[in-house]
Structures are given as C-alpha cells and as structure tokens.
C-alpha cells in the first residue's frame, strides 16, 4: 500500500492531475442584491384557487390545427 500523499507527489512530479469528485459544475449563477426576476412572458395566472392550496404542476397546452396537445409537468 502507498499513502495518498505519496501518489499525489509523484503525479505532480510527472505533471499529472487526478479527478476531483467533490466539485460540481455550477449551471445557474445567482444575481446580486439588485437583481430582478425575469418577467413572465406567457402572462400565466398562478394564484391559488383557495387558501392553503399549493400548485404542484402547470399544464401547458398548444393548439395545432384545432387539436389540443398538452404536456403536464
């Protein structure tokens, strides 16, 4: 068995680097304190129908040649 620090030192001497599993790619960068939410371009009304009701999904409908195509999330 060989210590991890020995492997690290030998790999560094050879110009090699191992993979880092703990770091993840950041896909969304949060805005600062002055940032605003993007406007809703579809003008959806997401208000609750009654008190203490939570909307779980939004139904999206598209009408093509008189045929309604829906996709629920």
Q: Are 66 and 59 in contact (CB under 8 A)?
A: no
| DSSP alpha helix (H) spans, the chain | 4-13
Domain residue ranges of the chain, discontinuous segments joined by +:
49-73
Q: Supply the pTM of this predicted model.
A: 0.28
Mean pLDDT taken over the chain: 76
| pLDDT tens-digit map of 37-69 | 888 888 887 777 778 776 666 666 666 676 666
Does residue 72 surpass a pLDDT of 70? no
Looking at residue 28, its pLDDT comes to 77
């Amino acid at each position: 068995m060989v210590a991890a620090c020995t492997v690290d030192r030998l790999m560094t001497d050879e110009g090699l680097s191992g993979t880092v599993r703990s770091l993840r790619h950041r896909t969304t960068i949060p805005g600062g304190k002055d940032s605003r939410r993007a406007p809703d371009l579809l003008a959806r009304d997401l208000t609750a129908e009654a008190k203490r009701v939570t909307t779980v999904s939004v139904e999206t409908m598209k009408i093509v040649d008189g045929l309604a195509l829906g996709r629920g999330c």
